C-alpha cells in the first residue's frame, strides 16, 4: 500500500510500525516477519514487540535508546526482510460441538444454509493462525475461518458466556478464557488451558502459531 510502512512515535518508550490501514494478508506477513526479526536480533534497549493485524508496537528503554535509533533499527530489519511468513508450531485444540455447549451451532447452520454437521466439518478441516492477543487475557485471535462460515457478529452480546467457549465471527475464531459477554457465535466448548499459569509463558499460543481443532465427546469436558 502507498505510504507504508509508516512509523510513528508513541509516548516516550515506543514506536508503532504500520503496514496498512485495514486487515490485509500481506501486511500481516510483514508484521510477523518484523516481529521474528526483532526477537532474533533485538537492538540495544529493545524491550518488547506487540503484534496486531497490520501493525507492530515496538517498545524500548528510553534510558538506553530513543525514537530515532529505534526507528533506524526497525528500518534496517525491514530492508533485510524476505518474502513469506515465519511459521510457528501447530497446536491442537480439543473441542466439543454437542448442543449443550454449542448454543449457536444450529443458528450458524441456518444462516449459512449448511447442515450443523457440515459446519462442524468445515471448522475442523480449517487450519488457523494466531494473529494477535487482545481484548482480554489470553484472547488469541485466530485467522482462517472458512468463508462459508463467515457471519457478522450478533446485534447484541450475550452475558455470562463460559470460559472455554469456541467462538466465530467473520473470518476470526477464538477460545474464550474468561466468563464474560460476547457477540460472537458460540459453536463449541474446549477444555484447553489457554492461560497456562506459567509467568514465563503465560499463554498456550504465540502469534504466528498454527492451530487445528480436534473433536471430542462431551464426556471429555471437565465437570
pLDDT digits (tens, 9 = 90+) for 37-92: 999 999 999 999 999 889 999 999 999 999 999 999 999 999 987 666 667 789 99
Grid coordinates given for 82: 524476505
The pTM (predicted TM-score) of the whole model is 0.82
Q: Which CATH class is domain 6-80?
A: alpha beta
CB 36 within 8 A of CB 208: yes
The rounded distance, in Å, linking the Cα atoms of 170 and 151 is 5
Q: CB under 8 Å to 142, separation ≥6 — which residues?
A: 128, 129, 130, 131, 172, 173, 174, 211
Tell whether the torsion through CA atoms of 76, 78, 79 and 82 is positive or negative.
positive
Rounded Cα gap, residues 68 and 19, in angstroms: 19
> Which of 184, 119, 188 is closest to 152 using CA atoms?
184
* C-alpha span between 104 and 149 (Å, rounded): 12
Q: Count how many residues are written for the chain.
A: 223
pLDDT digits (tens, 9 = 90+) for 99-158: 999 999 999 999 999 999 999 999 999 999 898 888 888 899 999 999 999 999 999 999
Q: CATH topology for 90-220?
A: Cyclophilin (2.40.100)
Provide the pLDDT confidence category of residue 27 given band limits of 50, 70 and 90.
confident
What is the bridge-based pairing of β-strands 90-95 and 210-215?
parallel
In the chain, residues under CATH classification 2.40.100.10 are 90-220
Amino acid at each position: 500500500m502507498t505510504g507504508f510502512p509508516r512509523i510513528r512515535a508513541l509516548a516516550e518508550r515506543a514506536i508503532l510500525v504500520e503496514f496498512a490501514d485495514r486487515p490485509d494478508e500481506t501486511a500481516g506477513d510483514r508484521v510477523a516477519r518484523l516481529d521474528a526479526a526483532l526477537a532474533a536480533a533485538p537492538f540495544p534497549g529493545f524491550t518488547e514487540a506487540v503484534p496486531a493485524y497490520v501493525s507492530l508496537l515496538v517498545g524500548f528503554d528510553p534510558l538506553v535508546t530513543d525514537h530515532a535509533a529505534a526507528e533506524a533499527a526497525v528500518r534496517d530489519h525491514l530492508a533485510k526482510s524476505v518474502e513469506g511468513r515465519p511459521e510457528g508450531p501447530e497446536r491442537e485444540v480439543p473441542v466439543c460441538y454437542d448442543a449443550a455447549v454449542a448454543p449457536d451451532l444450529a443458528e450458524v447452520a441456518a444462516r449459512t444454509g449448511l447442515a450443523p454437521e457440515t459446519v462442524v466439518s468445515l471448522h475442523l478441516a480449517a487450519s488457523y493462525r494466531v494473529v494477535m492477543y487482545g481484548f482480554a487475557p489470553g484472547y488469541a485471535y485466530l485467522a482462517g475461518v472458512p468463508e462459508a462460515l463467515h457471519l457478522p457478529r450478533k446485534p447484541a452480546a450475550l452475558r455470562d458466556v463460559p470460559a472455554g467457549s469456541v467462538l466465530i465471527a467473520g473470518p476470526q475464531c477464538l477460545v474464550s478464557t474468561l466468563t464474560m459477554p460476547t457477540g460472537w457465535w458460540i459453536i463449541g466448548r474446549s477444555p484447553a488451558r489457554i492461560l497456562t499459569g506459567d509467568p514465563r509463558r503465560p499463554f498456550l499460543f504465540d502469534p504466528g502459531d498454527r492451530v487445528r481443532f480436534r473433536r471430542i465427546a462431551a464426556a471429555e469436558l471437565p465437570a
